[in-house]
Structure 1
Amino acid sequence: MELYDELPEPPRAPEILSLKAHVAERRGEREELQDAHTICDLSEECRPIVTNISRLAFYAVFDGHGGSRAARYAAHNLHRNLVKKLPRGDIGVVDKAIKKSLLDAFKLTDEEFLKQAASQKPAWKDGTTAICVVVADNVLYIANLGDSRAVLCRMNEENQKPTVLSLSKEHNPNQYEERMRIQRAGGNVRDGRVLGVLEVSRSLGDGQYKRCGVISVPDVKRCPLADSDRFVLLACDGLFKAFSAEEAVNFVLSYVQDEDSQTEDMVARYESACHRLANEAVRRGAADNVTVLIVQILH
């Protein structure tokens, strides 16, 4: 359920909110870290920037499988391809333009990686999920493939309790529409996996599954930021196998609001909370890689 779609549009923050990103990566029980991430400000690269937008930032987590090459490739190239696809100057409807640019950037990144993968001997079989957030001034645009997730922590002004807003929709082969697409393409779903192997129904890479209905078209959502928002959490499924979204948000808040941590400034507290959350996921038995990216909203 897309929680924020069912809430009234929040009052817009009057000024552009400052952001600070924190990231923590843990290998878990895997032999190698197959995750990758991107944190970058696209404002300068997109000059002349879209009219009426002064800040354009990009955050992403990629959860690789079958190797780390697809995740690393996406981390290096998805935002660059987004810059190529974004129109410049006065574009009319900003929302429509950014969403189309995200769709085009995912398509181009997938095509280019598959071309490179097919040229290898033997061909690379790597794939990756993707969860990315583009921040245009005070509006989030969220694009997702696979089972990584993004959530937003929004505080209730009256009781100072958090509301956890789900910003992304997961894609797995058991979902009706995903399964139907796979079957129409000639594939099948066994034990909750495409051909009994692949756990996700959308990804970048995975060339051997593209003929079976696995696509690289993300769901793209929009969410305006409000003054009551505290942070955005992006993470791979390794975190969410150990935490529910609500538990993860409350874990972070419990540390940043802890009186014992008052000697640290708020940026340092969020940095510590990010690493503590990743450590706790591993301690709870997350065998998968764990990548946690927190975008702190400074007030």
Structure 2
Amino acid sequence: MLRNTAMSTDHAVVLFDVGAGQAKGSREFQQDRCTIIRPEQFPCKTNEKLAFFAIYDGHGSGLVAEHASKRLHNLLSKRPEFEKEDYVAAIKGALADEDALLLESFKNDSTEPAISGSTAAICLVNLTRGELVVSNLGDSHVIMAERDPKTDRPYHIRRLTEAHKPETPGERRRIEAAGGEVTIRNGIARLGDLQYKTPVNEVQDTGNMPQERHLSSSSSAVRGDFVSNKPFTSQRTLKPDGRYLLVIVSDGVSDRTDDVALIQHVMKLAMRGMRASEIAQEIATNSTRSTKSDNASCIVAMLDGQRS
């Protein structure tokens, strides 16, 4: 397998290769965005070697996904929690900061952030210490597998993210507590969609809420975020003698295949000598071959412990 060594082996984890691929599918426009920030590109000075990968799946337009793809990693690096190496809190804070910027844009520039939005699936890797932090809003996902040191075959395949679906009991309770009602499909955690968030939804007239969103307001005087910007976030340590594969995908990919089949196909292509960017592009392209296909985006990253 060809590899592009991005780090020397004096760090806990080596980023050998990473790349992204996208396909528009049958949609008129590509509304997804991908961000790959290698250690030498990370937007702040630090003694730690950090990498950042993210997919933003836009809807309504690509405005919110584009905005987040250019700003979120910078917002992350400026958070006070980031300086304290509390990456979980820093990501949560950065997502809130991004929504605040979108609100300012709504107030001063354009109404578009109120009617468009984006999911987010994020990986922050501290290569120096071998720490991985994963966070997501909505239904874009991160799948991780370990790779056998001798054969490179994947095992221990698991999804590190959690889909935010309004029909789940916890999300339904949150929406109802905010003064909303779940009817068909609504309330998914996302950036943007400000018409469903405080303070914009406080001035929305119930009768003017877009019906295709299937969101309705209850008679409760309590109003809150129908759509949340609070992510599911987890943290784990990568072993110095382990080999890892990370695959980040929009729902245009994950809705077309299961995680095990996806990881096995990625590794089959890798063992043929394909680079991460080529693999990611093939995954995205294959996911959009059928009619009525969604935008598809994929990031593939290969990480090896220094003793592997």
Q: Determine if the alignment matches structure 1 residue 105 to structure 2 residue 111.
A: no
1:141 to 119, 122, 133: 133
Seen in structure 2, the aligned counterparts of structure 1 residues 57 and 120 have a Cα distance that, compared at 3 Å, is same
1:296 to 289, 302, 308: 302
> Aligned with 1:282: secondary structure?
coil
Paired residues in the alignment total 264
Q: 2:67 and 2:245 mapped to 1: Cα distance?
A: 27
Q: 1:121 and 1:271 mapped to 2: Cα distance?
A: 35
Contact 1:42–1:83 (Cα < 8 Å) also in 2: no
1:231 aligned residue: 245
- Provide the TM-score with structure 1 as the length reference: 0.81
Matches within 5 A, 1:87-126: 87=81, 91=84, 94=85, 97-120=86-109, 122-124=111-113, 125-126=115-116
Contact 2:17–2:275 (Cα < 8 Å) also in 1: no
Q: 2:155 and 2:33 mapped to 1: Cα distance?
A: 29
Seen in structure 2, the aligned counterparts of structure 1 residues 270 and 42 have a Cα distance that, compared at 3 Å, is closer
> Residue type of the partner of 2:55?
V
TM-aligned CA deviation for residue 54 of structure 1? 2.3
1:81 aligned residue: 75
Matches within 5 A, 1:232-271: 232-257=246-271, 261=272, 264=273, 268-271=274-277
1:55 aligned residue: 49
Contact 1:132–1:144 (Cα < 8 Å) also in 2: yes
Q: 1:15 and 1:28 mapped to 2: Cα distance?
A: 39
2:25 aligned residue: 28
Seen in structure 2, the aligned counterparts of structure 1 residues 136 and 72 have a Cα distance that, compared at 3 Å, is same
Deviations 1:5-30 (A, max 9, x none): xxxxxxxx973322421100111111
- Provide the TM-score with structure 2 as the length reference: 0.79
1:67 to 61, 72, 75: 61
The 10-residue stretch of structure 1 (149-158 or 139-148) with the greater mean CA deviation from structure 2:
149-158
Deviations 1:71-116 (A, max 9, x none): 0000011001001105576x4xx4xx11111111010001111220
Note the residue ranges of structure 2 that are not aligned, 5 or more in a row. 1-9, 202-224
Q: 1:121 and 1:70 mapped to 2: Cα distance?
A: 12
> Residue type of the partner of 1:63?
D
Q: Determine if the alignment matches structure 1 residue 205 to structure 2 residue 192.
A: yes
Q: 2:80 and 2:149 mapped to 1: Cα distance?
A: 36
> Aligned with 1:118: secondary structure?
helix
Q: 1:287 and 1:274 mapped to 2: Cα distance?
A: 17
The alignment yields a C-alpha RMSD, in angstroms, of 2.3
Seen in structure 2, the aligned counterparts of structure 1 residues 106 and 282 have a Cα distance that, compared at 3 Å, is same
Q: 1:73 and 1:88 mapped to 2: Cα distance?
A: 21
1:3 aligned residue: none
2:118 aligned residue: 128
> Aligned with 2:287: secondary structure?
helix
TM-aligned CA deviation for residue 269 of structure 1? 3.6
Deviations 1:270-293 (A, max 9, x none): 333222211211124561100001
Q: 1:22 and 1:161 mapped to 2: Cα distance?
A: 19
